[in-house]
Amino acid sequence: MSEQHPLDASTYIQHHLTFLAEPVRESGGFWMIHYDTVITSLILGVVAFGFLWLVTRKASSGVPSKTQAFVELSIQFVNDQVRSLFHQDYRVVAPIALTVFVWVLFMNLMDLLPVDIMAWIYANVFHLHVWRSVPTADVNTTFALSLSVLGLMIFYSIKNKGLGGWLHELLATPFGLKPLWFSPMLVFFNLLFNLIEYISKPLSHSLRLFGNMYPGEIIFLLLGMWAATGLVGAAAGAVLNLGWAIFHILIVLLQAYIFMMLTIVYIAMAHETH
């Protein structure tokens, strides 16, 4: 920044947390399209699953390469987690769980890229002065993923129990509908409790991931501010950034794992009968 615009913490952080966004309507309003989130998510999806497709396409039954062995171990790990929670045909849920885990993991890993170097690349190579690199630090991404999982949960509930069975479960669980004269009140409370459960699932599912990735991004930005304090500050900031990055790898992996496990649990619940 120039001397007319001195570098301070609020300006620095605000710049890095600004989305490349555009309102859906010309008049503005609540609905916005975050182009950086959408484009980065799509690119990561193509890269991640394109890589898996290439590995499986070249897979051999003989001695596997290191890359093939890594992919096979990853798939086996996901299958084991699905089998431990889903006691029916695991082939229904395993591809969904693998998709969720890989995609969320790749989006989380974007948080490990150096923010200032990436900002320079976006500005000088792509001529983009604002661009958020971490899709899962955008609450819209985590809500979209969690709502997709909720939609799958409802879909499998209706598929396995029928529309009538799902509605009966929605209106009769957990108190039942007897005696008959008491049924209208029980229906009200059953529906209320089930709606609260259905609403709380995507809320907790999405906010848990967002609540871990967004603060991690903030901490990287705060540590990056040390580089503006001189040579000693830059050296200290580099050491602290390295330490936080090593610790953050655990958060990145853990949050992708938790998001996958909750997805398995929710879909397994859709297959249960009461």
> Which residues carry out catalysis?
204, 208, 212
**Contact, 205 vs 262, CB < 8 A?**
yes
CA distance 262 to 147: 13
CA distance 142 to 140: 6
CA distance 121 to 127: 8
**Contact, 165 vs 131, CB < 8 A?**
no
Residues 6+ apart with CB under 8 A from 39: none
Two tokens, residue 78: 């996901």
CA distance 219 to 11: 15
**Contact, 171 vs 190, CB < 8 A?**
yes
